[in-house]
Amino acid sequence: MKRAFYFSLFIIPFSFLFLSCTDMFDTKSSYYSTEDTNSLGSAADTVYSVIGILGKVQTIADRTVLFGELRADLVCENEYTPSDLREIVAGRVTPTNAYTDYRSFYAVINNCNYYLAKADTTVRVGGKKVILGEYAVVKAIRAWTYLQLALIYGEVPFYTQPILKFTDADRDYPKYSLSQICDYFIADLLPFADVELPSYGTISGIDSHRFFFPVKLVLADMYLWQQDYRNAAFYYADYLSDHQLSTGLVSARVGSINTSDEVTSFTAPWISAFKTPNNEEIITLIPMARTRLDGVKSQLDNVFSSTDENDNHYQITPSACYNELNQAQDYAYSVNERTLKHLSCGDVRYFATYPTQFVPADKQPSADEWKTDDEDIRQNDKFAAGHVYVYRCGTVWLRLAEALNAMGNYDDAFAILKRGGQVTTRGDSLLFEFTQTAVGVERYRGIHARGSGEAFRNSAYDLPDMSGDTLEVRVWTRERLMDYVEDLIIDEYALESAFEGSRFYDLMRVALRRGDPTYLARKVAHRNGALQPADDVLYDRLSNPSNWYIKHD
Amino acid sequence: MKNTRFWKIVLLLLWLPSVAMAQQKLEGKVISAVTGEPLAGARVTAHGLAAYAAMTDETGVFALSVPESVALIDVEAPGYNTVQQAVGACSLIQLWPDRFSADYSADIAVTSLRSASDFGLSGAVSVDDEIASRLGADVRTVTRSGMRGSGVMMLMNGLNSLHANAMPLVVVDGVFLDQQQGRETLHDGFYNNLLANINVADIERVTVLKNGTSLYGTRGANGVIVIETRRSTSMATRIEVNGMAGVEFAPAGMDLMNASQFRLYASELIGSTGTRQTAFKFLKEDPDYYFYNKYHNETRWADYLYREALTQNYNISVQGGDEVADYNLSLGYVDAQSTLLCNDFSRLGLRFNTDIKLGSRLKTRFDVAYNQNTRDLRDDGAPEDFAASTVLAPGFLGNIKSPFLHPYRYDETGHLTTFVESADDFAEGLALNSTWANPVAINTYGEARNKNRQETSFFNITIAPRLDLGHGLTAQTLFSYGLTGVTERSFVPMTGVPVFYIDGVGESINRAASLTAKQESLFSETKIGWTYAAGSHALNLTAGLRYTADTYTSSRQEGHNTGNDKTPDLAASLSFKDVGGTDDRWRSMAYYLTGDYNWRYTWFVQGGLTMETTSRFGRDAREGICLGGVKWGLFPSLQGAWMISNEDFMTGLAPAVNQLKLRIGYDESGNDDIDASASRTTFASSKFLDNAIGLTLHAIGNNTLQWETTRRFSAGVDMKGWNNRLDLSLGLFRSFTSNLLTLKSLPEISGENYYWSNEGSLENVGADLRVNLRLIGSRDWLWEAGFSAATYRNRITSLPDGDFTTTLYGGEVLTAVGQPAGIFYGYRTAGVYATTAEAEAAGLYNVLSTGSRSNFGAGDVIFVNQDNDPAIDDRDKVVIGNPNPDLYGNIFTTVGYRRLTLDAQMGYSWGNDVYNYLRRQLESGSTFFNQTTALNRRWTCEGQQTDIPRATFGDPMGNARFSDRWIEDGSYLRLRRVTLSYRLPVNSIWMQGLTVWLTGNNLFTLTNYLGSDPESSVSNSVLSQGIDAGLLARGRSILVGLKLNL
């Protein structure tokens, strides 16, 4: 008996340990959760996931700008440009280039996929579907990310279910073209066009609703790429109408001139919108961290500006073609009701973007103050705040103009540039109305007036004179007029949104609409300006649309 | 049916001999090997059958009848080492006094193992130093640094892993000790050696198991080190008091420039910065100049940072017992200063081991141990990343600081004050972050309990009842609870430390950080054993179950800019706050069955099978068996030995060959020491902007993840001969490790980077030899000498993603199929271009990051162009060094004269290369760091023939890039320890013994290595072997001690 007792003392631990093996080896941690424990069943849980996704979007922000801008005509390389960026500028990226890796884009997509597969949109608090808004946000982020992927790399692997196993990562996924991606996401986003987006209050001093990609704008972009201009125009207009965003929210103006009519100062609420992003002009931005301890810090400032970190050697220079375009603008302002004065300073948005270039030579900081022997100091203020801007009022208006013009409404499109105004839509129909209220009131001035003075008064900035029945007038067919306005829109894109990462795609859309790949090739090949010969190699390469995309194995 | 018959035959064979036991009569004589005189009262016993014993008479003669099956006898006598002898050769047995090292152990080893015991006269703070001194061929050891108690890196049987832990498992009194490999610490260059939590004086024996480790399942692949602490062996009360004190002298540093040499160098370097500044205070030679004193000193910074370090170490142990319990209580205190100021170590330890008899059949072990280590700490060694923080290691700053500066300020009248000088400013403004801290200020203002301190507390309680069930059956269970707590504080003062711009973060004025970690370990093992002996057969069977559960949690906080040096505390108001931590939990369970059988102690077979599962495995692991919903790995082993000397045909060879044994074995064991969550897909939080937290996919797990498997074949010969004067042991092994735990890249579309997978394989082949000779043994004199030598060849046989390189300390380590692990991969050099014409003729150039070319010119290093392309780039890299030694081991000798004993232990390593990262910093010729005097030979003018390139700020041509310039032969022969001890002739009732001793450590090292210490280890990882970051070198030390037995 005694022996049996002793024996059982030793046997009990054995038998105990046979029980429930699987549970015993499920270890948990307070520092991570697993698929089983990460539930997205309440708004409190999903907030963290959405913020996590926004953190992932930070990782691709710089790259979307670099690919959208460096390949186009408004910038060029300099002696400090690193090889990887140099390759992008030359439109020929080798496989060893750090930017060919599209892993970070799929990190955004996979996290979105996980959220969309798991989030329970039916959860209601006080009768309100609290998760639905976030759900729409995540859908829009995923669509935008796929759009960026397709614009950069052409055909890309496509999947919409989360990859949580390494075996799933090894599978072959179908490759979708830009057009297939747009088709998919138009259908995917349409049901959420009117969903109200959430707000998490102020994060790091910025209204968090600016972190989200409006479904209507992503939809409109997709329609624009699909050349469905009516729908594109409608959703742009609808968004602008919903938020009562007019054309002239911000502008840059000459502040003072000297007796020789040289500009000595300017005022630029236009650039302030970039520096302090809590304003109407900024619709969506990718908020970047101030230090790398808080997330991803944008490196664009180090690319476009002279900084301590790049030893004052900015790596990308505005191109001669960009400078010439700015210089060519006719800055006009009214001295009095009758007299319009023209200055030779060009579009002031240039000076607003590059304030240190504008400072007269005798007032420039000394070399010692810059701790460098390099006198060529540039500060591109579009990157001063360290954020990356995705949708701005000015660019959305220009896209609306592009869509309207392509529909044939070139006069409405031109009115957006010259006269300005606001737009109203009615319900869910495709009808909308462009109104030019109170001409001259700054808020409603045209986009061109954001940097070229009182364009609405400037007769030099106008459509061709169509009065009379001269031979010249008769050759102005509707198509030629559309092209004419489109050229103005493309120039206005450059003046308004240079360096923000959309230039290459703006040119791409026009080339596609006109069915003329050389349109894009010609623009880029002439980036070194009228005085320099065109880059024939680049021209030849970009004349083939398949070279518009970065090769990826 | 056939099976049943087989078992019947086996049982019959086992049983038969015990039925009819014929007797044999043994007669012989036992004499002293030293004097030749007969030994009376020596006990002669049949090995394994204590009942058959006889004593020698006064003529040393014995007669003993033993069963025919007995082939081996043990002969023991007080004051002599025990000898085992085959019965056929027992006519004359010579015993050696126990002042010689023991050569026979009671258990005849079938596997390859070696023990060391008797640490009574050790001045070591941590037992791994003893392992290095005494088991240096059984374990390859590399001392981590001269920091007291930092221990050694240990590798056994070659290199058995690439990315997972490759250090052996340590088992202390039957309980696994998790050594917290890879856990975070706050101080650069510091390794928290948990073995320093065991007082060396408490250790009875250390045994190194080189094979037969399958019992340890998924943790046995890297070998096992078994540590047994002291227990009472008799009822007599014994008190041992041990005290020692000593001094360690500061290590010799590198030969650095003096003030005038450095002034010249620095002024030359300024010329290459392209600055327009012309006025530099340190270049003004007017003695009336206000700042003249500040920049005109001849400072040997080491004088202010190192010292002669005192050590004191006291231990007292009380042993005893009665009918109910035996106990060993010991208390130890060590206070060990470090030669590098502000790195002192102290330890207070208590251990209470008891064996309690609860009944005639039930007894239990009950042990409690508590230990508290405290360290003053600063960073040590050259930092790997100079962009992460300003240089904070006082030792390294002592090397790089300009010798014309002084650690203390001068006042207006030109007199030196006691106020510490601020960070230097002589090169300020020439580049970002180009000023360095005053190391004396770091030591002074970083000193406080809440500033730079590390404490480790270690608590363990073990209860292990054992029940004798009769009929050879025993049941035993062991339950242990361990708690290891670590707290560490780090504080970088603002006084004397420059403001540092951290890339992507901002300006750091000072920094406070804290880390707390806790590990709780539950360990339980239950086993049932059966012993059976009959006639020629002896059989032991054990079936057991082992269960472990560990939790490791840690939390780290850091903040910058506290405002002043009096408030080192973390607060919400600090800038650049950063927090981190871990919460790892893991469990394992193993069932095992082991058995050993021998026939007449002549043929031995030992086998085992362990079945283990751990929470680290994936649910769908490819190998192993599925049981209870989880995957179990199977680890078999089979070892055999043949004691040839017991065979009749060998008896004629005695005493030329006293004992000869052949061993052969095969075992499989595993290694699962990776991230506890690697098999699972996890989500983790990340910071978003300054006040939000996001949750994202963190890692894609591998549900098929499993252990690394090492299959090891081994063979060996153990021989004692020449009248037991010679003790020789030779071991050979060849092992194959498959399923290497490797980080494998995920396809880009997953969005994640890597996952752990089991792919890739490597193999090792190696040999070790140990020879011990008793050269002189006379009434007064003894001389014993020997050596051990080991070698291994490691070769990677497959990799999942192909060859790759790892960047470590600015160097590259290549992992390539067909090559050993850890090899250095870089450029070969062939001197320096003396003339422009020579450089132009070579026509080589660098391709800059902008894509443009930069041609090598006169004074630049000649990099060997390995391809036809004149660009010097990645394609010109080749293997430039191998940190794996060709041969390593110990040389040891003991000379005794009467009561005086001189014991010397040397260690050596031959053929291993070292990447001298410290020298790369001190000879780069590209920074305002002080340089070694080698830089006085730098190229300065056209036509100059030299081996040192020109000095250029920022090194635009990459002359100091990772090349064979920095790879050195790390071979050395070091006199690790010499001990002279004297046993005083005391023998009274209250005092049984008194020994005084004097030890010298590291008295000399023969090496061509240019750094301070050829032995240095920046981490325990296989891939970072042989990197010398200039951690504190060991100095010579002298210790005197006294051991008292009461």
What would the DSSP string read from start to end of A195-226? PPPP---EETTEEGGGGS--HHHHHHHHHHHT
- Decide if B477 and A308 are in contact by the 8 Å CB cutoff: no
Q: Name the burial class of residue A291, with classes exposed (0-12), middle (13-18) and buried (19+) by CB atoms within 10 angstroms of its CB.
A: middle
Contact list in A for residue B276 (CB cut-off 8 A) is 367-368, 373
How far apart CA B147 and CA B170 sit, in angstroms, is: 22
Ramachandran angles phi, psi of B87, nearest 5°? -60, -30
How far apart CA B126 and CA B202 sit, in angstroms, is: 11
pLDDT at A6: 53
Whether the CB of B914 is below 8 Å from some CB of chain A: the reply is: no
- Give B511→chain A minimum CA distance, Å: 15
Q: Which of B275, B585, B700 sits opposite A166 (nearest CB)?
A: B700
Query: For B400, which DSSP code?
Result: H
Rounded to the nearest angstrom, the gap between the alpha carbon of residue A302 and the centroid of all alpha carbons in its chain is: 19
Contact list in B for residue A36 (CB cut-off 8 A) is none
- Decide if A29 and B503 are in contact by the 8 Å CB cutoff: no
Q: Are B712 and B735 in contact (CB under 8 A)?
A: yes
How far apart CA B588 and CA B614 sit, in angstroms, is: 4
How many cross-chain Cβ pairs, A to B, lie less than 8 Å apart? 234
Q: What is the DSSP string of B55-85?
A: E--TTSEEEEEEETT--EEEEE-TTB--EEE
Whether the CB of B362 is below 8 Å from some CB of chain A: the reply is: yes
pLDDT at B27: 92
Instruction: Find which of B697, B707, B847 to mutate to test the A interface (most A CBs within 10 Å of its CB).
Output: B697
- Decide if A24 and B587 are in contact by the 8 Å CB cutoff: yes
Compute CA distances B565 → B389, B450, B510, whole Å. 18, 12, 8
- Decide if B690 and A290 are in contact by the 8 Å CB cutoff: yes
Strands (E) across B509-536 are located at: 511-534
Contact list in B for residue A26 (CB cut-off 8 A) is 615
Ramachandran angles phi, psi of A541, nearest 5°? -65, -45
- Give A316→chain B minimum CA distance, Å: 12
ipTM of the complex: 0.87
Contacts of B623 (CB under 8 A, 6+ apart): B631, B633, B706, B709, B739
Contact list in B for residue A58 (CB cut-off 8 A) is 688
Contacts of B512 (CB under 8 A, 6+ apart): B489, B490, B491, B492, B558, B559, B560, B562, B568, B569, B570, B574
Q: Name the burial class of residue B3, with classes exposed (0-12), middle (13-18) and buried (19+) by CB atoms within 10 angstroms of its CB.
A: exposed
Helix residue ranges per DSSP H, A25-131? 43-70, 83-89, 103-118
Instruction: Find which of A25, A167, A306, A552 to mutate to test the B interface (most B CBs within 10 Å of its CB).
Output: A25
How far apart CA B761 and CA B708 sit, in angstroms, is: 9
In angstroms and rounded to an integer, the radius of gyration of the C-alpha atoms of chain B is 32
- Give A199→chain B minimum CA distance, Å: 13
Contact list in B for residue A311 (CB cut-off 8 A) is 432
How far apart CA A76 and CA A79 sit, in angstroms, is: 10
pLDDT at A369: 47
Instruction: Find which of B183, B525, B576, B695 to mutate to test the A interface (most A CBs within 10 Å of its CB).
Output: B695
Rounded to the nearest angstrom, the gap between the alpha carbon of residue B1032 and the centroid of all alpha carbons in its chain is: 16
Q: Residues B63, B68, B72, B73: what is their CA dihedral angle, to the nearest 10 degrees?
A: -20
| Segments of chain A scoring below 70 in pLDDT | 1-25, 27, 31, 36-44, 125, 357-375, 427-440, 468-469, 471-475
pLDDT at A438: 59
Contact list in A for residue B694 (CB cut-off 8 A) is 48-55
Which tokens in the block code for residue B953? 């700020």
How far apart CA B41 and CA B57 sit, in angstroms, is: 6
If you measure CA to CA, which chain A residue comes closest to B275?
A373
If you measure CA to CA, which chain B residue comes closest to A157?
B749
| Segments of chain B scoring below 70 in pLDDT | 1-21, 432
Contact list in A for residue B499 (CB cut-off 8 A) is none
Please report how many Cα atoms fall inside a 13 Å half-sphere around the Cα of residue B774, on the Cβ side: 25
How far apart CA A123 and CA A42 sit, in angstroms, is: 7
What length does chain A have? 553
Query: For B692, which DSSP code?
Result: E
How far apart CA B842 and CA B876 sit, in angstroms, is: 15
Contact list in A for residue B524 (CB cut-off 8 A) is 13
Whether the CB of B701 is below 8 Å from some CB of chain A: the reply is: yes
Q: Are B707 and B617 in contact (CB under 8 A)?
A: yes
How far apart CA B395 and CA B305 sit, in angstroms, is: 7
Which tokens in the block code for residue B590? 């193993």
pLDDT at B119: 87
Rounded to the nearest angstrom, the gap between the alpha carbon of residue B856 and the centroid of all alpha carbons in its chain is: 43
Quick one: which of B91, B82, B52 has its CA closest to B68?
Answer: B52
Contact list in B for residue A4 (CB cut-off 8 A) is none
pLDDT at A15: 47
- Decide if B477 and A9 are in contact by the 8 Å CB cutoff: yes
Cis peptide before A533 (omega within 30 of 0): no
Q: What is the pTM of this model?
A: 0.90
- Give A105→chain B minimum CA distance, Å: 7
Looking at residue B447, its amino acid is E
- Decide if B475 and A294 are in contact by the 8 Å CB cutoff: no
How far apart CA B362 and CA B469 sit, in angstroms, is: 9
Whether the CB of B517 is below 8 Å from some CB of chain A: the reply is: no
Strand, coil or helix: B97: strand
Q: Are B792 and B183 in contact (CB under 8 A)?
A: no
How far apart CA B669 and CA B667 sit, in angstroms, is: 7
Instruction: Find which of A15, A28, A31 to mutate to test the B interface (most B CBs within 10 Å of its CB).
Output: A31
Residue found by looking up tokens 């006198």 in the block: A375
Strand, coil or helix: B319: strand
Quick one: which of B335, B133, B320 has its CA closest to B237?
Answer: B320
If you measure CA to CA, which chain A residue comes closest to B589?
A17
Q: Are A178 and A149 in contact (CB under 8 A)?
A: no
Residue found by looking up tokens 């270690």 in the block: B458
If you measure CA to CA, which chain B residue comes closest to A316?
B850
Contact list in A for residue B275 (CB cut-off 8 A) is 373
Whether the CB of B279 is below 8 Å from some CB of chain A: the reply is: no
Q: Which of residues 441-470 of B touch A (CB under 8 A)?
A: 465, 467, 469
Strands (E) across B215-344 are located at: 224-229, 238-248, 309-321, 325-336
Residue found by looking up tokens 């990609």 in the block: A213
Which tokens in the block code for residue A271? 């650039």
The β-bridge partners of B1041 are B244, B997
- Give A388→chain B minimum CA distance, Å: 14
- Decide if A49 and B613 are in contact by the 8 Å CB cutoff: no
pLDDT at A18: 47
- Decide if B583 and A165 are in contact by the 8 Å CB cutoff: no
Q: Are B403 and B301 in contact (CB under 8 A)?
A: yes
pLDDT at B384: 94
pLDDT at A371: 40
How far apart CA A79 and CA B729 sit, in angstroms, is: 68
pLDDT at B181: 85
- Give A372→chain B minimum CA distance, Å: 8
- Give B363→chain A minimum CA distance, Å: 12
Whether the CB of B501 is below 8 Å from some CB of chain A: the reply is: yes
How far apart CA A295 and CA B688 sit, in angstroms, is: 5
Q: Which of B617, B694, B702 sits opposite A51 (nearest CB)?
A: B694
Which tokens in the block code for residue B374? 């405290």
How far apart CA B567 and CA A260 sit, in angstroms, is: 60
Quick one: which of B612, B568, B566 has its CA closest to B169?
Answer: B612
If you measure CA to CA, which chain B residue comes closest to A553?
B748
Please report how many Cα atoms fall inside a 13 Å half-sphere around the Cα of residue B398, on the Cβ side: 25
